[in-house]
Amino acid sequence: MYFGKPVVATAYSGNCDFMNADTACLVDYDLVAVREGAVSTRGSQVWAEPNVDQATSYMRQLLDDRDFGRGLGGRASAHVRTNFSYRAAGLRYLKRIQEILRTGAA
């Protein structure tokens, strides 16, 4: 995204912290249980099973409509550079620290 490449990704979990419908082709999903023994963690786990037809449609759109892909990639790059730069992260930290100092709440 930083380099302006269009992205197709499942609309679930951590990537949604920095992707949205204006900056990526977000694919719908169904949460399905991870079968026992498939991962080395304890407890029940779920997997976001992507809608393959929708993902395929996005990929075709990106292939057929290069202007769409360039626009999406450009918006993604601007979004990442503006909101996730060292400066942006530092300003978020500063704001939170000031809130903690002001209220005494950690």
Evaluate whether residue 1 is within a structural domain.
no
Whether 44 has a pLDDT exceeding 80, the answer reads no
Residue 47 is assigned to a structural domain of this protein: yes
Computed over every residue of the chain, the mean pLDDT equals 92
pTM here is 0.79
Q: Is 36 inside any structural domain? A: yes
Mean predicted confidence (pLDDT) in 43-69:
94
17 located within any domain? yes
- CB contact at 8 A, 77 and 2: yes
Domain annotation covers residue 26 = yes
Question: What is the CB-side half-sphere exposure of residue 52 using CA atoms within 13 A?
Answer: 1
Residues of the chain above pLDDT 70, percent:
92
Alpha helices, DSSP H only, in the chain? Answer: 52-64, 66-83, 86-103
In a domain, 3, yes or no: no
Say if 77 falls within a structural domain: yes
Q: Is 38 among the domain residues?
A: yes
For the stretch 57-72, pLDDT in tens is 999 999 999 999 999 9
Domain count, the chain: 1
Residue 45, pLDDT > 90, answer no
Q: 56 lies in which domain range?
A: 8-103
